[in-house]
Structure formats: C-alpha cells, structure tokens
C-alpha cells in the first residue's frame, strides 16, 4: 500500500491544484476552495424583464404596421374608417357564430396572396382563368363578409 495516494499520483482538478481530501492541511483546503469554486454571476431580473418588454413592444408595433400595410394592399384604405371598423366588427361577430366562415376567408386570403397580393389583378394572356383545371381548381370565393 505504499505510495497509494501520494501527491505525485493524486488526480489534479480544475486549475491544477490537488483535491482537498488528499492533503491533510486545513489551510490547503481553504485555499483550494477559494481558487476552484466559481461564484455565480448574479442575474439582473430587472434588465431581463425590460428586454422582454421591449421585445414585446417591438413585435406589437410590427404587427400594427403589417396590418396597415394589409389594409393598403387589399384596397380597403379607400373606405371610410368607420366602414372599415364596422366590417371588421361584423367579421369578428360572424367568426364567433359560424367558425366555418373563417375557413372560407382563410382560403380566399390564401388565394389572394398566391396571386401576388394585388387587388383586381388582370390575368396575363397565357394564364388560365380561375376555376379551370390549369389554375389548381380554385374558384374565386364570393364575398361572404355580409352574410
């Protein structure tokens, strides 16, 4: 058993110091702990919360801008603001009463964006008419916002 755990064969830890259990001196243990224990960096919860609030504000403003751009792209900006608000309120009420209406509106919106997002876009001379086999079988949906 001679030389079983001597300093020459003892494992080295993190910073190269000896493990405190292998050395009998209490002073060495304390020095080792000071050198080899990392203090955690305290979290700044206020800064993290502020960053999250700033990010939420940015996302909300982007959503507002995108909604305004959508109103312009579809041509609804020519309507009086009261009419636009009334149409949106009617759409919300109808979506609560008949959820299948949302599916129809979603199809219509999908078709709109697939056509390039242009209101009243005239088909090019070589393009098939909507509803024909060459146009993925999608027929234009009738306006159902006033049902």
What are 88-101's pLDDT values in tens digits? 999 999 999 998 99
Identify whether residues 100 and 147 lie together within a single domain.
yes
What are 51-63's pLDDT values in tens digits? 999 999 999 999 9
In a domain, 140, yes or no: yes
CA atoms of 109 and 117, how far apart (whole Å): 9
In a domain, 64, yes or no: no
Tokens of 38: 């990392």
Number of domains in the chain: 2
In a domain, 90, yes or no: yes
pTM assigned to the model = 0.48
Identify whether residues 143 and 97 lie together within a single domain.
yes
- Could you list the residue range(s) of the whole structural domain that residue 147 is in? 73-119+136-147
In a domain, 60, yes or no: no
* % helix, strand, coil for the chain, step of 5: 55, 0, 40
Identify whether residues 144 and 79 lie together within a single domain.
yes
pLDDT above 70 covers what percent of the chain?
53
In a domain, 93, yes or no: yes
């Amino acid at each position: 058993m001679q030389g079983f755990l001597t300093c020459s064969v003892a494992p080295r830890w993190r910073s190269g110091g000896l493990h405190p259990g292998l050395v009998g001196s209490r002073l060495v243990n304390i020095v080792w702990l000071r050198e080899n224990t990392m203090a955690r960096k305290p979290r700044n919860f206020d800064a993290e919360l502020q960053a999250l609030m700033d990010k939420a504000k940015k996302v909300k403003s982007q959503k507002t801008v995108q909604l305004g751009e959508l109103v312009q792209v579809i041509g609804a900006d020519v309507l009086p603001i009261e009419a636009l608000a009334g149409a949106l309120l009617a759409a919300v009420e109808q979506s609560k009463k008949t959820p299948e209406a949302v599916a129809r509106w979603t199809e219509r919106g999908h078709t709109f964006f697939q056509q390039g997002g242009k209101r009243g876009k005239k088909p090019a001379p070589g393009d098939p008419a909507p509803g024909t086999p060459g146009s993925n079988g999608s027929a234009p949906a009738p306006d159902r916002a006033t049902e």
